[in-house]
Amino acid sequence: MTLGLNLCCIHCLMCMVMQTEAPPTVRIIHSGHACNVEEERHTERVYTIKEGETLELTCLVTGHPRPQIRWTKTAGSVSDRFQDSSVFNETLHIKKILRTQGGRYYCKAENGLGSPAIKSIRVDVYYLDDPVVTVHQSIGEAKEQFYYERTVFLRCVANSNPPVRYSWHRGREVLTQGSDKGVEIYEPFFTQLQGETKILKLKNLRPQDYANYSCIASVRNVCGIPDRSVIFRLTNKTASPSIKLLVEDPIVVNPGQTVSLVCITTGGEPPPILTWVSSNDSLPQRSVVKGGTLTLPAITSDEAGVYSCVASNNVGNPAKKSTTIVVRALKKGRFWITPDPYHNDDNIQIGREVKISCQVEATPPEELTFSWLKNGRALRSSERMVITQTDPDISPGTTNLDIIDLKFTDFGTYTCVAALKGGGIPEISIDVNISSTTVPPNLTVPRGKSPLVAREGDTVELECLVSGKPKPIILWSRADKEAPMPDGNMQMESYDGVLRIVNVSREMTGSYRCQTSQYNGFNVKPREAVVELIVQYPPTVEPVYMEMRQGLGRPVVMTCRVLRAHPSRVLRFEWLLSNRLLHAGAFDTQRDETEYTIRSLNRDGWGEYTCNVINEAGAGKCTFQVTGKAYPPEFYYDTYSPLWQNRPRVYGFKLQWTQMNPNAVDRIVAYRLGIRQMGLQRWWEQEIPVDGAINKGELMTHNLTELIKPESYEVRLTPITRFGEGDSTIRIVTYSAPINPHLREFHCSFEEELICMFTQDKNDDFDWTRHSAATRDTKYTPNTGPSVDRSGSKQGFYMYIETSRPRKEGDQARLVSPFFNVAPKNPYGITNPPAYCFGFFYHMYGKHIGTLNAFLKQKGQTSSEGPVWSLSGNQGDRWRQAVVSIHPTASFQVVLEGIRGPGIEGDIAIDDVTLEEGECQGLPDGE
């Protein structure tokens, strides 16, 4: 195979029968731009970061099956929830973090075993804004200017985290408490930070007090945040701002007009800055601000409101002037007729009184004018025809026409005309007909329209017949409960007595009240009627969808259960396989469910089964996908550093997995392994045979070799049964330098500067040196040491002892491995110590070669016993392998000791140190 990926070299499948299921554990590590990480009480971790930097928190988890990870955050006034990260994405990444994103971050891992594991870390975001200096005089003193014998306060404020320390300067002079009798520096009572100063008091201004004052805000360079400063120039002309609006208040305009508001400064030193604000939270999008002028082109009613010009120069309080823009409008014209109120009449009668009322919504209300016409001719107020306009505070925008002692000649059409004095807005005319045929309303529900039966999703029309002249507006509302109507309001208006509901739902079942409104009709006791609405809906069933996996020859039972239905009398059921009817019948309402059983599943039985439960409104559907597909394998992530270094350019990876529900379907006969290098399209595949049945929790292992450094690979694993391929699982294999060597299979070729976490013994005489033959200078000792590393590469690295001066005979150099843990399965200790094969390659060439020793150093032992392996003298110019079985009873380290011989031609080198489980299998070739 090309691309350095030799799948032919992949070892055969190894099965280790062990229960690998384990509840999750979790810990949080950080990366990105941390300023500081500290442990507080109760082991709380606080992670400090500067605003605008990148936050990276990684949740390291163990547990099998692989835990699902979710990040959440709680802080401040709200709880922010992050979107669930994918199963294997453990890193939370926030670019350009904001101060509002500080708080406590939680990582929760759960895999269904035991309780979820939760860890948290507090993120503190540091920032410092530019300081602002404001200047004030003491209350009661002159506001126009600052002059002799006046007291002035300079206040400096900057938003920050952590709290700010302030310092004051006058010109180049540093101001401190007591340094100048005319200056006082206030310590704010609400802070405990020593030396923090905010307020500078200048008592009885002197000539030297007119100067440049600078305030420096500092957070002591935490997170590398530099100090920030601001300068304020105090003169004898310094004064708070004053402004003037060159407009009337209020401004009344017609819609579509362009409005310009002009604001000018009339005083203030330094010159004030002008801004505009609106009572509508923000200025209209189309508004234009140029200097002190605000222009609103083609204004609309929505843009009416209060507009304010604000002037600020940080001296005294800002100046503010406001004006109200009123946009003329006339809308929603209504009328109502009131028969003689003194006799409780519902009808219009000759000789009695009749009142016609007319109402509109007007802006501004004070410009509203009404006029009345009878049959098109102007009508004036008289003894029998009394025109009044009611109090705007009681009933705004209303006019009344009282007809006293109604006569036959008073029948006719009365017109109410509403207008605005300013003009430019179309009038509203409302016609009211008074005649012998004018009668009060009556409401009835048409026959067969209540109860009204509809199916869910239909469009329905609830109808009330309204008679009378004129016909009033009909108000619809719920009669059976306090609930909103379909449009979200408590009432809906109808001009024809019909309430139309589109896409009716089961929640809309109930009683609806139709009621006459006083508007556009008689102002009498409301008439009302009730319409019953019954919404039928198909049965609601469960499960809506279920996947059922089963092996051949086994039984399958499918159950479809009815939860709700209207009408509740379910008529029948039918079972289908891919639209082929299998079974049908009457539904047993006593059981509320129906079953279908396959006694022995065969290949023809695979497919999609549908159960339809049917009533008058339709069918509820349960769907079952019956398949012999195997469940996906679950990759095992808790192997300690499954990656090892083969040679300088390649690496290997131990792939481990368990099979989810291995006994649910037919026996898995093989796995299809696919692998491709990230960024490339081509997949390489092979089958891995499986001998015998797989037990639940059984750990399976496959070694991937010849992976190219530092490339990452996508690995796909698919189980295969008689059914065919099952569900696949994909994971990413990423190369990384060996940081945490693990016990089962440790391999170190010293290619990385970290040298696999080997350390130099601090109590020896000198150190081992890491080198490659390409960089090592051998001109002083040409007849000693290796010319290549163990793999034959001049670029490859190895460790060696340099025996040239100042080294002397007998000097020792010891290289100590990291600790390897031996976890006893028996809580009372290890009764049968495990065996490990410790191996390494050595090069001992030169006439002054001393001794190379290998020791086993166990935890708890003050001194190691004799070497487990030792060799002295010249062994020739070639690499040889040493292997030795060791049997530790506790956590242990291996130590390689080089001892200098009698002369300088005594360099000793080592390479490719390995540690594997089990006894060593024979001696190396040639040994």
What are φ and ψ of residue 289, in 5° steps? -110, 125
Q: Is 228 exposed, middle or buried (0-12, 13-18, 19+ CB in 10 A)?
A: middle
The b-or-e profile of 774-786 (16+ CB within 10 A means b, else e) is eebeeeebeebbb
What is the CA 745 to chain-centroid distance, rounded? 40
Measured torsion, CA atoms of residues 38, 44, 48, 54, in degrees rounded to the nearest 10: 120
Measured torsion, CA atoms of residues 431, 432, 436, 441, in degrees rounded to the nearest 10: 130
How many Cβ atoms sit within 10 Å of the Cβ of residue 761? 16
d(CA 90, CA 76): 25
Pair of tokens at residue 924: 């190396």
> Element (H or E) spanning 269, and its range?
strand 259-269
C-alpha distances in angstroms, 896 versus 125, 454, 716, 760, 799?
Answer: 47, 88, 40, 10, 11
Pair of tokens at residue 525: 């006791």
Alpha helices in 585-734 (DSSP H): none
Q: Is residue 250 reached through a cis peptide bond, with omega within 30 degrees of 0 on the bond before it?
A: yes
Q: What three-state secondary structure class fits 299?
A: coil
The stretches in the chain having pLDDT less than 70 are 1-19, 31-33, 37-44, 74-89, 138-149, 187-197, 392-394, 639-641, 645-646, 736-745, 774-783, 822-832, 862-864, 922-927
Measured torsion, CA atoms of residues 435, 440, 446, 452, in degrees rounded to the nearest 10: 130
Domains and CATH numbers, the chain: 22-128 (2.60.40.10), 132-233 (2.60.40.10), 242-327 (2.60.40.10), 331-437 (2.60.40.10), 440-536 (2.60.40.10), 540-627 (2.60.40.10), 633-734 (2.60.40.10), 745-824+832-917 (2.60.120.200)
Q: Is 249 exposed, middle or buried (0-12, 13-18, 19+ CB in 10 A)?
A: exposed
Question: Are 132 and 217 within 8 A, CB to CB?
Answer: no
pLDDT confidence of residue 142: 47
pLDDT confidence of residue 718: 98
Q: Euclidean distance between the first and final Cα of the chain, in Å?
A: 33
- The residue whose two tokens read 């009038």 is 427
332 contact partners, CB below 8 Å, separation of at least 6: 360, 361
Residue 501 sits at the vertex; the CA angle it makes with 496 and 505, to the nearest 5 degrees, is: 155
Question: Are 81 and 73 within 8 A, CB to CB?
Answer: yes
d(CA 523, CA 361): 19
312 Rama sector, left if φ>0, alpha if ψ -120 to 50, beta otherwise: beta
d(CA 303, CA 327): 8
520 Rama sector, left if φ>0, alpha if ψ -120 to 50, beta otherwise: left
Predicted TM-score (pTM) of the model is 0.58
Pair of tokens at residue 578: 């891919």
What amino acid is encoded at 223 in this protein?
C
pLDDT confidence of residue 779: 45
Per residue in 83-136, pLDDT tens?
433 334 678 888 899 999 988 888 889 888 889 999 888 899 999 999 999 998
What is the CA 202 to chain-centroid distance, rounded? 51
pLDDT confidence of residue 737: 58
Question: Are 309 and 321 within 8 A, CB to CB?
Answer: yes
pLDDT confidence of residue 555: 96
- Dihedral sign, CA of 796, 797, 798, 803? positive
pLDDT confidence of residue 770: 87
Pair of tokens at residue 744: 């089962």
Question: Are 915 and 822 within 8 A, CB to CB?
Answer: no
